Structure 1
């Protein structure tokens, strides 16, 4: 009996994700392809691996008994891929980088572009979004984010700081005046992150100071915050790296130290000695150091 490893990967993906379509997305293929591979595997084994139900596929006892071995094979395959990718090829090869929203678009992307321009043998691909890539499974080589990395066998390094401050437009300040902590920002308007974000460090200090301010908008995107402040509608806490570039925006002086968040990079331990990875991380650290005026703003 000959079993195709690609068919086994399909079975594992269906166990993990529950449906043919979800498994296809995870594998980067189509639903019909996943269905054909599953049929081929069941014919090869002469056994049923999943019961077809209205809501998806329910694993049989047989496939559940195989999951442990399939997980080991999957981990071993990714380990081989990482070791091959980490081979000492000098400053050449591909680097897949992931980051978040504005951090990736406005801060990390120019840094990566300058590195790529200086090292033509390195091809960099940057993917920005809310998805958390699994570095252990080789979904990305490097990830830049604010929070800590929780996956096993990852190396985490602080590469720089991003300072925040409260900002308002010159038009807003002319119309509403400078907010007064003494009266809890009475008569002023604010934009906050949406409630799904929970308590985030760069905003957590403000509600106690602005207890009487009116919240006119909650949004999960920095672009919305920036647009509302630029338009003179309200004030918001913004990263100094971006807001200081806006000629119409002003920092609002407050008797409170400006919050700072660390930017972290994570990568698998198998990649620690890869020249292009080390060089890129060092490059980003150096670029953050050049942003010193924005990292420790003076109110």
Structure 2
């Protein structure tokens, strides 16, 4: 197979990889920005040039043949090399200018980051921010994002960054349902466990607050689950049940009251993260230095000291 490879361009490898990833032609065509017929025609030309089939066509989709697996393996290596070179070149930029992609989650964005991003843009008007909201970790090695702002106890080992603060969590309910929260805080936990609860979804099952609900609250008492912290705060505020929230989110809502003091067992850590190849990039460094300084002033608030 080595000899025919000289007839293939990078776009051919890219096309085969797209079909393999999508397991079909329509999704692959959308991924690389061409129409379905072009993908079909070009795949036929590639297979004819190589003299082998790269895919088996099944009802469930396109499955790679051994020859196709070799092509995809080469494409993945080349893609990784291109990404690595791009990261290193971007890391050599001297002026803090251009687009910067930042990933965080909705609760951090709404309750903390938007105002900080506004101040950052005032200080660095030549840097354009592209904010990607997700509760899942994006791949900074592939530059899905340049900077990640994450509440996590285990930042990925392949990233570098700074721990800004701890994030305190406590149990909250509606003030209208608990007119005497001081008395409620002294209540036995078993009393609270018998109430209706809301919880984060199983996709966030690694958090200790989710494990607590799974271990201590009867399934029939968990009336509502949602896969974002912001959605959880909205649910408690709407009266769907009691539940754990980060203090900096719940304390900003006058309709909510703490039912118990913050529990160290439920704390998470707030991190600013980037890829090692980007840590000296001018705009990445500008954002991380700016946010570290601004967010350090919010540390007591994040750690639940202020109500």
Is the pair's TM-score, using the shorter chain for normalization, greater than 0.5?
A: yes
1:273 aligns to what SS in structure 2? coil
Q: CA deviation at 1:65?
A: 2.7
Partners of 1:3 and 1:41 within 8 A in 2: yes
Q: 73, 80, 84: which one pairs with 1:79?
A: 84
Verify the 8 A CA contact 2:160 2:276 in the aligned structure 1. yes
Contact 1:191 1:215 in 2 (8 A): yes
**1:60 pairs with 2:65:** yes
TM-aligned CA deviation for residue 126 of structure 1: 0.4
Match in the other structure for 1:268: 275
Could you state the TM-score of these two structures normalised by the residue count of structure 1? 0.84
Answer yes or no: is 1:178 the counterpart of 2:176: no
Alignment pair present for 1:155 and 2:160: yes
Asked if the contact 1:165/1:258 (under 8 Å) is kept, the reply is no
C-alpha root-mean-square deviation of aligned residues, in Å?
3.2
Q: Which moved more, 1:64-73 or 1:276-285?
A: 64-73
Unmatched 5+ stretches in structure 1 = none
Q: Secondary structure of 2:148's partner?
A: strand
Q: How many residues align?
A: 298
Report the CA distance shift for 1:234/1:17 in structure 2 as closer, same or farther (over 3 A): same
Q: 1:198 to 1:210 in 2, by over 3 A?
A: closer
Structure 1 window deviating more from structure 2 (47-56 vs 117-126): it is 47-56
| Aligned twin of 1:228 | 235
- Aligned partner (choices 93, 98, 104) of residue 103 of structure 2: 98
Q: Output the CA distance in 1 between the equivalents of 2:188 and 2:214.
A: 11
1:126 aligns with: 131
Structure 1 position 33, deviation (Å): 4.9
Q: Residues of 2 paired with 1:37 and 1:134: CA distance?
A: 30
Mapped partners of 2:74, 2:89: distance in 1: 23
TM-score, normalised to structure 2, is 0.82
Paired residue secondary structure (1:88): coil
| Structure 2, unaligned runs of 5 or more | 1-5
Task: Indicate the SS of the match to 1:143.
Answer: strand
1:19 to 19, 24, 39: 24
Q: Contact between 2:197 and 2:241, CA under 8 Å: does it hold in 1?
A: yes
Deviation at 1:31, TM superposition (A): 4.6
Superposed displacement of residue 183, structure 1:
4.3
CA–CA distance in 2 between the matches of 1:34 and 1:292?
A: 53
User: How many angstroms apart in 1 are the aligned matches of 2:203 and 2:240?
Assistant: 23
Query: In the alignment, what sits opposite 2:116?
Result: 111
